[in-house]
Copies of this chain bind each other. A is one copy, B any other.
Amino acid sequence: MRILLTGASGLIGQAVHRNLSQDNEVITLGRSAHADVRLDLADVDGLNSAALPAADALVHCAGIVDEDFREDPVRAARMAMFGAGALARQAVAAGATRLAYISSAHVYGPMLGHIDERSPQNPVSDYAISHYATEQVFRRYAQGAVTAAAFRPCAVFGALGDLDAFRRWTLIPFSFPREAVMDRRIVIRSTGQQRRNFVGTDDIADSVRRWLDASSSAWQVINPVGDTSCTVFEFAQRCAAISDELATGSCIVERQQPNGPQAGDDFEYASTLQPTTARQSIDDFARGLMSQLLLKAMP
């Protein structure tokens, strides 16, 4: 298969690139000088007049991230709706009949109770609404020979190529290992009792590959589910324990509101579509990342 890939240098995109390159020709699209085809999702007019190379599929891993909304929410929403819309249109014009988008579990709304692909969506933040908008501009093309899918991971972890190039340290799977190493103290602003499902980027990539190989229904939502679900507090404790193993001295976990309002302790993230065959362990990830950070911090 010939696959157009955006976000190939990003957290999830790197894993998708590695995975799909094994059996497919992958053509990367992006602003970077390393991209096979240079394009900018913020340049809607440019995209509308761009011609993409002939391909069988588009995998869009360059969706909006939280940070985009802190910087310029209007620009981020425009990319999500019109940039992604133009991208999907051009990919279909180039022959793509499979359109995959890496979205977010936030599209379901507040992380409460049992959520699987049959759950109604309820995006409330600008970030979540924008992810949903991208899903729907992809879904627009899901008819006739074209099938499309949205992948909605919850809390994503995975190998970082270059620690210095990474910009998303505020995400919990990254912030806690980093705080454990750097500060020997992990600070949780809430009760920490809200649960999350942690899914590795390689497992997300597997999920995308399985869908590319077997796509059948016109439109599909897929929850890539990792094998670890735990509370934010429990994950902090795991990081602290690993940190204690790796280094001398111990790491403290501090909850700023241990008795504060509790919501999300009943959250259960599930998939009815793809069996969980997760191969990545969050503990291995945390241990690996902390080792990297310790090495880096060495004089």
Contacts and interface: CB of A to CB of B under 8 A. Distances in A.
Contacts of A136: 122-124, 129
A242 interface: no
Nearest to A77: B81
Given A124-B140, A139-B124, A129 B81 contact: yes
B73 A77 contact: no
Contacts of A139: 122, 124
Interface in A113-130: 120-126, 129
A129 B124 contact: no
A255 interface: no
A133 B81 CA distance: 11
A137 interface: yes
Interface in A237-257: none
Contact of A78 (B44, B74, B125, B137): B74
A133 to B, nearest CB: 5
A196 to B, nearest CB: 22
Interface string A42-71: 001000000000000000000000000000
A82 B78 CA distance: 11
B120 A81 contact: no
Contacts of A73: 82
A123 to B, nearest CB: 6
A177 interface: no
A73 B81 CA distance: 10
A33 B250 CA distance: 67
A141 to B, nearest CB: 10
A106 to B, nearest CB: 12
Nearest to A124: B140
B133 A129 contact: yes
Given A74-B82, A77-B78, A77-B81, 17 more contacts: A44-B74, A73-B82, A78-B78, A81-B129, A82-B126, A120-B120, A121-B121, A122-B136, A122-B139, A123-B136, A124-B139, A124-B140, A125-B140, A126-B137, A129-B133, A129-B136, A129-B137
Q: Which 9 A-B pairs have the closest CB atoms?
A: A124-B140, A129-B133, A129-B136, A74-B78, A77-B81, A123-B136, A124-B136, A74-B82, A124-B139
